[in-house]
């Protein structure tokens, strides 16, 4: 028997296939202790775990740990390699979780002899808030949090400024239903490792805050900042990225079209004989393009003008292409601000949805 496992954050999909390619069993499980326990038991009904290899698109994580602890050989499949094989199951490129688990099992059936079968390794979960880090520092292991009640957990969260969107009963249920790790390390060692990881994350977060402050101070005193600071949804960090990436190009560009080309938001035309194609521009200032497209994508949520340009382009193009079209429009606005030495003003630079780029000599220093 061969197993295909399509993994995700909240749910997983499992397919059991025999050597002839027939699907014997298939089910979906939640990413909870109950889900993993029932799945491992259900897999054992199909044979000895050592004879049930599992194809999965990762080499680490709790699913891999639990499968290894259950005795299953793990066959990690690189997502790019798996994507390249999709054509063998049809040209429509249809994709579902159930279909992917079936395809992984079939891929293992046909190409398993060509794949390496290393083990997986566990990693710590992401720590993305001060409350989460404080909780892990106080309760680093499931054993240390065993005596927590819904009331005590809710009170603890309130003391640390928790928003209160989830009551204590929901939080404690999530804590109790979380799948258990397969590690054999003692609680004392795990607690020490978790606290060390928390300390490292706190140092990194402190460094990020210091860097954000330095960026804000540098942007505040930069002579180009007033030109673009009033643009919709630009933000301090994004403004700093735009100034750092687009500023040097503005200084040397002779025309608006040169600016657009060097920023990489205009395609490249290749023509020979009767052939002609318009393709993505690879030779460009990548940092400038990333800074510009990130701002452009954010701006459509704060500007009706930007939203219209994006939506019109999205009706014809894919999202990345539509964002580049919007970024190109924003570069014309930036060029107008630069040439006239005036700060961005929607009434001036977006009148009748047209941008005035007739002035080619930069006036701003």
CATH of the domain at 62: 3.30.420.10
The Cα 296–Cα 322 span in angstroms is 10
Query: In the 8-state DSSP scheme, what is residue 124?
Result: P
Closest CA to 6 of 78, 103, 92: 103
Count of the separate structural domains present in the chain = 3
123: left (phi over 0), alpha (psi -120 to 50) or beta: beta
* Residues, the chain: 365
- Smallest CA-to-CA distance from 1 within 44, 41, 30, 63 is with 44
Q: Which residue from 215, 257, 260, 217 is spatially nearest to 240, judged by alpha carbons? A: 215
For residue 328, the model assigns a pLDDT of 92
The pLDDT of residue 116 is 55
User: Do residues 134 and 15 share a domain?
Assistant: no
Residues 202, 229, single domain; the answer is: no
Q: What distance in Å separates the CA atoms of residue 192 and residue 93, rounded to the nearest whole number?
A: 47
Q: What digits encode the pLDDT tens for the residues 23-46?
A: 888 888 888 888 888 989 998 888
| 60 and 148 part of one domain | no
Co-location of 128 and 178 in the same domain: yes
Residues 231 and 337 in one domain: yes
Radius of gyration of the CA atoms of the chain, in A? 27
> Are 109 and 129 members of one domain?
no
pLDDT for position 118: 47
The reply to whether 129 and 199 lie within a common domain is yes
Last residue of a domain, one of 201, 218, 235: 218
Inter-CA distances, 204 with 23, 124, 137, 197, Å: 47, 16, 16, 11
The listed range with the strongest mean pLDDT (156-160, 217-221, 313-317) is: 313-317
**Residue 329 located in a structural domain:** yes
Confidence grade of residue 120 (pLDDT, cut at 50, 70, 90) = very low
Tokens of 86: 């999709």
User: How many whole angstroms separate alpha carbon 6 and alpha carbon 200?
Assistant: 32
Element (H, E) at 191: helix 187-221
pLDDT at 350: 59
Q: Does the residue 206 lie in any domain?
A: yes
Looking at 79, 114, 149, the residue that finishes a domain is 114
pLDDT in tens, 290-347: 999 999 999 999 888 899 999 999 999 899 999 999 999 999 989 988 888 888 887 7
Q: Which two tokens stand for residue 109?
A: 């059936």
Q: Is residue 365 part of a domain?
A: no
Residue 258 lies in a domain: yes
Q: State the number of CA atoms in the 13 A half-sphere of 335 facing the CB.
A: 25
> Which of 175, 191, 218 is the last residue in one of the domains?
218
Q: What is the pLDDT of residue 19?
A: 84
Residues 105 and 128 in one domain: no
Structural domain boundaries, residue 259:
225-353
Considering the domain architecture, whether residues 101 and 17 belong to the same structural domain is answered as: yes
- For the beta carbon of residue 350, count every other beta carbon within 10 angstroms: 17
Tens of pLDDT, residues 253-286: 889 888 888 888 888 888 888 888 888 888 888 8
In a domain, 178, yes or no: yes
Q: Identify which has the larger pLDDT, 160 or 334.
A: 334
Residue 3 backbone phi and psi in degrees, to 5: -120, 135
Q: Is residue 364 part of a domain?
A: no
- Mapped to the 3 state alphabet, what secondary structure does 66-111 carry? HHHHCCCCEEECCHHHHHHCHHHHCCCCCCCHHHHHHHHHHHHHHH
Domain presence at residue 360: no
Q: How many CB atoms lie within 10 A of CB 223?
A: 10
56 and 170 both lie in a single domain: no
Query: Please, which residues bridge with residue 76 across strands?
Result: 56
For the beta carbon of residue 323, count every other beta carbon within 10 angstroms: 23
Q: How confident is the model at residue 128 (pLDDT cuts 50, 70, 90)?
A: very low
The pLDDT score that the predictor gives to residue 349 is 60
- How far apart are alpha carbons 247 and 228 in whole angstroms? 11
Q: Does residue 30 sit in the same domain as residue 66?
A: yes
Residue 205 lies in a domain: yes
Tell me the H-state helices in 222-318.
225-228, 236-252, 256-262, 286-299, 304-314
The tens digit of pLDDT for each residue in 78-101 reads 888 778 787 788 776 677 888 888
Q: In the chain, pLDDT over 90 holds for what percent of residues? A: 9
93 and 72 in a common domain:
yes
C-alpha 215/C-alpha 169 separation (Å) is 41
């Amino acid at each position: 028997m061969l197993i295909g496992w399509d993994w995700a954050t909240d749910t997983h999909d499992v397919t059991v296939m025999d050597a002839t390619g027939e699907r014997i069993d298939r089910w979906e499980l939640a990413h909870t202790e109950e889900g993993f326990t029932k799945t491992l038991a259900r897999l054992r009904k199909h044979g000895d775990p050592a004879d049930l290899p599992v194809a999965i698109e990762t080499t680490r994580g709790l699913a891999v740990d639990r499968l290894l602890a259950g005795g299953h050989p793990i066959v990690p499949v690189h997502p790019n390699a798996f994507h390249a094989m999709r054509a063998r199951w049809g040209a429509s490129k249809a994709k579902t979780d159930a279909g992917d688990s079936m395809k992984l099992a079939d891929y293992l059936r046909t190409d398993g002899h060509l794949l390496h079968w290393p083990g997986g390794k566990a990693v710590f979960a992401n720590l993305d808030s001060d409350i989460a880090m404080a909780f892990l520092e106080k309760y680093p292991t499931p054993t240390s949090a065993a005596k927590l009640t819904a009331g005590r957990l809710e009170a603890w969260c309130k003391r640390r400024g928790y928003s209160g969107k989830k009551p204590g009963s929901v939080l404690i249920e999530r804590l109790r239903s979380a799948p258990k790790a397969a590690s054999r390390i003692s609680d004392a060692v795990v607690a020490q490792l978790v606290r060390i990881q928390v300390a490292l994350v706190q140092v990194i977060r402190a460094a990020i805050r210091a860097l954000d402050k330095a960026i804000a101070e540098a942007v505040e005193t930069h002579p180009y900042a007033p030109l673009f600071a009033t643009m919709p949804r630009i933000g301090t960090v994004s403004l700093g990225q735009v100034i750092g990436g687009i500023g040097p190009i503005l200084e040397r560009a002779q025309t608006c079209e040169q600016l657009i080309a060097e920023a990489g938001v205009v395609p490249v035309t290749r023509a020979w004989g009767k052939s002609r194609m318009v393709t993505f521009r690879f030779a460009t200032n990548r940092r400038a393009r990333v800074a510009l497209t990130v701002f452009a994508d954010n701006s459509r949520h704060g500007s009706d003008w930007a939203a219209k340009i994006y939506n019109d382009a999205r009706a014809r193009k894919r999202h990345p292409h539509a964002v580049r079209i919007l970024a190109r429009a924003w570069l014309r606005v930036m060029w107008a601000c630069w040439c006239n030495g005036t700060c961005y003003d929607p009434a001036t630079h977006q009148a009748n949805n047209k941008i005035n780029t007739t002035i080619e000599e930069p006036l701003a220093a």
